[in-house]
């Protein structure tokens, strides 16, 4: 693959000066929970948080064996409450065992002092693992999921984001895996097949006292396609435990806060080098950042050709809007190599482009040539929804910060 990498110094000078524009359209929030309306001794975790318990025959939790949840009934005739009971009040006599199911607890506030006072962290959700036992069926791995669910209403890119903190009892000590997940289950034909399963392991920062407890952000980016509309979307957290490692709920937990499901907006992490795999030889450098007033801005550099096969470049910038960036390219001409006289440059209209990002690694490119680019570069054919992938990544935040 060859992408022109020569960014002349004068490129920055041809970007349009921007002032006084508004921030990009905000993401559509589908769910949010910061647990601040909770109290430690309430009966239930809170609105909509439910659970499911799964068993697998291998240590990696990949070969599914069985599962049970709030709508199931075991052979003894016992049923489980749909609601996920709060650990602190599930059963005072039996520490939550016996009268109802629980696998989560409220920390109000998390990492409080011995007197129960808040030091650094606010209210958080503690997700436990299921203490390992060996029921019939050659179970090697148990997965405990605590999550929200809703029907899939729209297609496109989405982000499930959260903050995470180490549990006060310490990190998982016996090989447990803690993770966030997003799943789409096909319910329309009652097959309950997984149409989507995305996960990211949650590894919070090390903390040892209430005074130094801290959080780290985490997120799962995913795309919902047309076949998923109307099916069941689940998003939340799980803990995997495997046999013969001595696990218990007391040391297999992670704390979570500021849980949010939203449509994916463009952020700095979308910056990088982009191209179409079938059109190696031309491509884009796209950068997202902020102007001097803290407002989001996106700049694109297109390294392409005229109809005679000679290399040219076009540049432009625009305001990110949701998951798209519209740019009116400038086609700078006239400066001579070695002279570097900005007054010799003519900045012509190079046409209009729209980049639409399904996630931080995939996008489409649409281009409408201008009269100048048609007459001078031979760009007579519009480009519609050309698939792009990112081939050079820049470590950065997924989303823009909120201005103070």
Instruction: Retrieve residue 182's tokens.
Output: 């997003």
Instruction: Say whether pLDDT at 325 is over 60.
Output: yes
**Spatial contact of 110 and 127, defined as CB atoms under 8 Å apart:** no
Q: What is the pTM of this model?
A: 0.69
Top pLDDT among 251 and 15 is at 251
**Spatial contact of 329 and 317, defined as CB atoms under 8 Å apart:** no
CB atoms within 10 A of CB 322: 18
Q: For the domain 29-263, what is the CATH code?
A: 2.60.120.260
| Residue-wise burial string across 329-341, b where 16 or more C-beta atoms lie within 10 A, e elsewhere | bbbbeebeeeeee
**Spatial contact of 385 and 366, defined as CB atoms under 8 Å apart:** yes
Q: Encode pLDDT of 61-103 as tens digits.
A: 888 888 887 766 555 655 555 567 787 776 555 444 445 556 7
Q: Encode pLDDT of 339-358 as tens digits.
A: 999 899 999 999 999 999 88
Q: Encode pLDDT of 69-80 as tens digits.
A: 776 655 565 555
254 CB-near residues (< 8 Å, 6+ apart): 126, 127, 164, 165, 166, 167, 172, 178, 202, 204, 237, 239
CA distance 34 to 401: 18
How much is the mean pLDDT over the chain? 82
Pairing state between β 124-127 and 254-263: antiparallel
**Sequence spans of domains, the chain:** 9-26+267-393, 29-263
**Spatial contact of 11 and 99, defined as CB atoms under 8 Å apart:** no
Sheet holding 177-185, edge to edge: 64-68, 50-56, 141-151, 232-242, 177-185, 194-201
Least confident of 14-23, 52-61, 350-359: 14-23
> Could you give phi then psi for residue 382, rounded to 5 degrees?
-65, 160
Instruction: Retrieve residue 227's tokens.
Output: 């076949």
> Could you give phi then psi for residue 11, rounded to 5 degrees?
-55, -45
């Amino acid at each position: 693959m060859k992408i022109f990498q020569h960014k002349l110094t004068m490129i920055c000078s041809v970007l349009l000066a921007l002032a006084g524009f508004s921030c990009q359209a905000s993401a559509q929030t589908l769910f949010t929970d910061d647990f601040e309306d909770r109290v430690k001794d309430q009966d239930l975790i809170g609105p909509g948080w439910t659970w499911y318990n799964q068993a697998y025959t291998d240590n990696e939790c990949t070969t599914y064996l069985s599962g049970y949840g709030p709508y199931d009934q075991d052979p003894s005739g016992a049923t489980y409450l749909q609601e996920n009971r709060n650990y602190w009040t599930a059963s005072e006599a039996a520490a939550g065992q016996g009268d109802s199911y629980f696998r989560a607890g409220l920390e109000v506030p998390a990492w409080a002092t011995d007197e129960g006072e808040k030091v650094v962290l606010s209210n958080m959700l503690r997700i436990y693992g299921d203490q390992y036992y060996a029921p019939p069926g050659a179970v090697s791995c148990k997965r405990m999921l605590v999550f929200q669910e809703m029907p899939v209403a729209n297609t496109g890119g989405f982000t499930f984001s959260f903050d995470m903190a180490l549990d006060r009892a310490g990190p998982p000590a016996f090989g447990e895996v803690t993770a966030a997940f997003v799943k789409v289950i096909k319910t329309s034909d009652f097959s309950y097949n997984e149409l989507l399963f995305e996960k990211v392991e949650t590894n919070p920062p090390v903390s040892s006292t209430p005074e130094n407890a801290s959080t780290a952000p985490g997120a799962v980016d995913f795309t919902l396609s047309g076949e998923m509309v109307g099916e069941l979307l689940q998003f939340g957290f799980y803990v995997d435990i495997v046999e013969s490692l001595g696990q218990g709920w007391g040391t297999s937990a992670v704390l979570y806060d500021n849980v949010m499901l939203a449509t994916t907006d463009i952020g700095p992490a979308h910056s990088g080098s982009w191209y179409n795999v079938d059109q190696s030889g031309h491509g884009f450098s796209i950068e997202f950042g902020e102007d001097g007033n803290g407002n989001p801005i996106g700049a694109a550099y297109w390294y392409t050709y005229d109809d005679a096969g000679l290399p040219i470049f076009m540049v432009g910038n625009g305001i990110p809007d949701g998951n798209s960036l519209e740019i009116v390219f400038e086609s700078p001409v006239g400066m001579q190599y070695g002279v570097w006289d900005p007054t010799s440059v003519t900045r012509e209209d190079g046409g209009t482009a729209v980049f639409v990002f399904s996630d931080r690694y995939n996008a489409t490119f649409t281009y409408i040539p201008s009269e100048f680019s048609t007459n001078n570069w031979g760009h007579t054919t519009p480009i519609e929804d050309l698939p792009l992938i990112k081939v050079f990544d820049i470590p950065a935040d997924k989303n823009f910060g909120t201005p103070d």
